[in-house]
Amino acid sequence: MSYYAVVDPATGETIKEYPTITDAELGDAIARADAAYRGWGRTTTPAERAELIRKVGDLHTERRDELAAIIVREMGKPLEQAYGEVDFAADIYRYYADTSPDVLKDEPITLLAGEGSAIIRRTPLGVLLGIMPWNFPYYQVARFAGPNLIIGNAILLKHAPQCPESAAAIQQIFDDAGFPDGAYVNIYATNEQIEDVIADPCVQGVSLTGSERAGSAVAEIAGRNLKKVVLELGGSDPFVLLSTDDIDKVVEDAAAARLDNSGQSCNAAKRFIVVDDLYDTFVDKFTAKLAESQPSDPTSDDSVLGPLSSTAAAERLQAQLDRAVANGATAHATGERRGNFFAPIVLTDIAPDNPSRHEEFFGPVASVYRAADEADAVAKANDIPFGLGSYVYTTDPEQAERVANRIEAGMVFVNLTLADGVELPFGGVKRSGTGREMGRLGADEFVNKKLIRTA
């Protein structure tokens, strides 16, 4: 089978294969991107580039039916969630079209000595490589390509091997929006070829969203070649419940946060840390709530839980579950596994020496821990190598502020879930990565913040 192929995870059917780019074609793609940066990227204005990005957003809206159907068959995303992703991607492009020209305006500096003036001018770096994952095929591209094309950088985009059809659809949108040749180039490259791309002198930076293993490999290559890198890696986000006036609402939020994208989201709530007096009630209600969402045909309008993205993903998750139980954890199943379709599972009794305690479960598996008090809850929340997102539920505003400050994560959401927004920066600490995407900070990663001092 080809390295790039659409394999429907619901049926196992290989729908279409795509040829990998040749080395000669890859060299040409890099040269075209470099030419676009040196020409179009340096001779047009941010406002002109922003209007092209606005067209990209509008085309996502116009083609939402086609785009949603593609990712349902590529990675099994439930149809309604596929529509939501397309709409969110469109909003991201329009957000940057609205805001980036102002962000890129010269920033004056007040001089402490001497005459004249000084400014910071944000200019493009050059050609950037984006390495994207399969779980959000449009959203991930939007938050990388949108701001960077307005800056004037050119984009080489390597999508996940199981998302070649959405990759082609995105390329067509950029072409139809009026971007010049080379400004945005989709490349069906292998991992071995990507090492050469990062090393190429024309490429000035790389952004990867993916696994910890992939991030480590890319960071090593980028470091060796002195290239700027942004990494958005895994997460095992804590959901800390300290107090509530409405346990049913908390449970509803917890279930939604765990099952979004069939549990295959980096910043999903995965570890539920509950104070002792609420623990038993939470486990019972949470398990029952998750049981209401059984996996179903992702093409159905009412599906909320589809298959895992591939057979390999399903086998990985099963191996993790088996290992967790073998090491003493209790599994509360809500249904049966059918191939790549997993019914939600709740894990409890996870001992400190259980290896699953420090792993990320990428699927509809929730781990629940008992906490003695606030200090114990924070300690358990931070007892993980990751630090992407986190969630805190409490009726005490001072406690919320205190715990939010102590949690080691790039993002903290208090008394709400699924609250990502185009204006909110996204990223983590520890082994969850470096840098930020989305919002104002996402438009400030791959720029030359050039000082111009004039007498």
Which residues are designated catalytic? 232, 266
3-state secondary structure of 372: coil
Cα dist. 392→75, 212, 286 in Å?
Answer: 31, 25, 16
Query: What are the b/e assignments for 422-452, b being 16+ CB within 10 Å?
Result: beebbbbebbbbbbbbbbeebbbbbbeeeee
First to last CA, the chain: 64
Residue 307 is given by DSSP the state -
Give the closest residue to 210 by CA, choosing from 306, 144, 124: 144
Compute the chain's Rg from CA coordinates.
Answer: 23
**Do β-strands 330-333 and 345-348 pair in parallel, antiparallel, or remain unpaired?**
antiparallel
Contacts of 82 (CB under 8 A, 6+ apart): 67, 68, 69, 71, 72
Give the closest residue to 225 by CA, choosing from 95, 89, 129, 110: 129
3-state secondary structure of 60: helix
* Position 25, amino acid: E
**DSSP assignments along 426-447, one per residue:** B--EETTEES-BSHHHHTSSSE
Report how far residue 376's alpha carbon sits from residue 367's, in angstroms, rounded to the nearest whole number.
16
452 sits in which H/E element: strand 447-454
Cα dist. 276→40, 252, 370, 383 in Å?
Answer: 60, 20, 6, 18
> Exposure of 248 by Cβ count < 10 A (0-12 exposed, 13-18 middle, 19+ buried)?
exposed
